C-alpha cells in the first residue's frame, strides 16, 4: 500500500436497534459497527433486503480500491456479532453504481440503483434466489442522483437531485407511476437554505407523519444526515428539520450519509480515513506543503 493511500476514504456500516420514533429525538443512539473481514474495499449506501433470525442481508454500494468505481453487492452480516460473513457482486457496469433503492411490490423486488454517470436511471427486477438482476426499462431519461419513492395521501412521488448539481440546495419532486415504475411530471422544486437537497435514504413513517433522510453536504459531500418531516398542503411542499446525525467518533470522523430501516432495524453508514491516525497526519502534512 502506498503512503498516500492511508488517507483514502473508508466507509463502514452500523446498525441501530432502537425504534424510529426514538431516533427522531436521540442524536447519539447506540450503534453496532460491522466487523469487516477484508480492508481492500468498503460498503456504503446500505438498504436492508431482509432480516432473519441469524442474518442481516443488505444491498449496498461496494467500492474496491483497485477497481475504483462502485458496484452493487449483496452483503450478509451476522445478527448477533455484526460480523460481515460474505458478499457477492450482483451488478457491475462500466459506470459507477451506488444507492440501490428497493421497491417491494406485488410479491416482487425491484431495484433503482444510482447510476447518474450513465445519463439515465434504470429499473431492475431482482431475484434473490438466483442473485439475478434483470433490467426492465429506464425510470427516466435523466441522470437522477439517489432517487427515492414514497406514498403520500394516496399518491406516489419520487424526489431526487440530478447531475450536474447533485449536492444541491433543492430537491425535485415528481409524481410516480407505481404500476409501471416510471417517473411522471415534475410537481415541485423545494429550496433549502443549506446544501441538503440530496436524499440519504428511504422516506419513513412515524405516527402518521412522513420523514425524509437528507444529506447535509454543507461542509463536504455526505457530512451528515438530517431527518426532515414532510408536509404537503394545497400543492405546497415543506420539509422541517427534526433531528440530525454527524460524525462523532475518532475512527469515523468525516461523514454519515445514509439512513434506512426495515423489519425494526436501522442501518447507517459512516466515513473516516482508511487509517485513522496516519490519515490525519498525512492530511496535515499535505496541507502544510499545499498538496491535496
Distance CA(145)–CA(161), nearest Å, equals 5
> How do beta strands 55-64 and 170-177 pair?
unpaired
pLDDT single digits (tens) 74-86 = 999 999 999 999 9
pLDDT at position 1 is: 61
pLDDT at position 3 is: 59
Q: Indicate if the pLDDT at residue 283 is higher than 90.
A: no
pLDDT at position 285 is: 81
Give the DSSP letter string of 200-214.
Answer: -S--EEETTEEEEEE
Radius of gyration in angstroms for the set of CA atoms belonging to the chain, rounded to a whole number: 19
> In this structure, what DSSP letter does residue 95 have?
S
> In this structure, what DSSP letter does residue 180 have?
T
pLDDT single digits (tens) 108-117 = 999 999 999 9
- Beta-bridged to residue 87, according to DSSP, are 75
Q: Is the CB of residue 216 less than 8 Å from the CB of residue 224?
A: yes
pLDDT at position 282 is: 76
pLDDT at position 274 is: 79
Distance CA(256)–CA(46), nearest Å, equals 12
Q: Is the peptide bond before 164 cis (omega within 30 degrees of 0)?
A: yes
Q: Is the CB of residue 48 less than 8 Å from the CB of residue 260?
A: yes
Residue range 144-160: mean pLDDT, rounded: 97
Residues across the chain = 292
pLDDT at position 289 is: 81
Distance CA(129)–CA(101), nearest Å, equals 19
Q: Which domains does the chain have, with CATH numbers?
A: 3-288 (2.115.10.20)
Backbone angle region of 178, left / alpha / beta, with phi > 0 → left and psi within -120 to 50 → alpha: alpha
> In this structure, what DSSP letter does residue 81 have?
T
Look up the pTM and report it.
0.95
Q: What is the mean pLDDT of the chain?
A: 94
Residue range 52-69: mean pLDDT, rounded: 97
Q: Is the CB of residue 120 less than 8 Å from the CB of residue 140?
A: yes
Closest by alpha carbon to 86, among 58, 50, 46? 58
Of 159 and 290, more confident: 159
Residue range 184-202: mean pLDDT, rounded: 97
Distance of CA 79 to the CA centre of its chain: 21
Q: Is the CB of residue 243 less than 8 Å from the CB of residue 23?
A: yes
Amino acid at each position: 500500500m502506498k503512503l498516500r493511500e492511508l488517507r483514502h476514504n473508508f466507509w463502514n456500516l452500523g446498525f441501530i436497534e432502537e425504534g424510529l420514533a426514538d431516533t427522531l429525538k436521540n442524536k447519539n443512539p447506540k450503534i453496532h459497527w460491522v466487523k469487516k473481514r477484508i480492508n481492500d474495499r468498503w460498503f456504503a449506501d446500505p438498504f436492508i433486503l431482509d432480516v432473519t433470525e441469524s442474518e442481516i442481508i443488505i444491498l449496498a454500494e461496494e467500492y474496491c480500491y483497485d477497481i475504483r468505481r462502485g458496484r452493487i453487492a449483496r452483503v450478509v452480516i451476522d445478527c448477533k456479532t455484526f460480523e460481515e460473513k460474505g458478499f457477492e457482486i450482483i451488478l457491475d457496469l462500466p459506470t459507477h453504481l451506488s444507492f440501490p433503492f428497493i421497491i417491494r411490490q406485488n410479491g416482487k423486488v425491484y431495484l433503482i440503483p444510482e447510476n447518474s454517470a450513465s445519463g439515465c436511471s434504470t429499473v431492475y427486477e431482482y431475484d434473490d434466489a438466483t442473485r439475478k438482476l434483470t433490467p426492465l426499462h429506464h425510470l427516466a431519461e435523466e441522470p437522477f442522483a439517489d432517487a427515492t419513492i414514497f406514498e403520500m395521501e394516496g399518491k406516489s412521488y419520487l424526489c431526487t437531485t440530478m447531475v450536474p448539481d447533485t449536492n444541491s440546495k433543492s430537491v425535485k419532486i415528481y409524481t410516480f407511476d407505481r404500476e409501471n415504475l416510471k417517473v411522471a411530471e415534475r410537481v415541485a422544486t423545494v429550496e433549502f437554505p443549506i446544501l441538503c437537497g440530496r436524499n440519504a435514504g428511504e422516506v419513513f413513517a412515524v405516527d402518521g407523519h412522513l420523514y425524509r433522510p437528507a444529506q447535509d453536504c454543507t461542509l463536504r459531500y455526505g457530512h451528515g444526515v438530517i431527518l426532515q418531516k414532510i408536509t404537503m398542503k394545497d400543492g405546497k411542499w415543506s420539509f422541517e428539520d427534526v433531528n440530525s446525525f454527524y460524525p462523532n467518533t475518532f475512527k469515523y470522523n468525516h461523514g454519515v450519509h445514509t439512513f434506512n430501516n426495515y423489519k425494526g432495524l436501522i442501518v447507517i453508514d459512516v466515513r473516516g480515513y482508511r487509517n485513522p491516525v496516519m490519515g490525519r497526519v498525512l492530511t496535515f502534512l499535505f496541507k502544510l506543503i499545499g498538496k491535496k
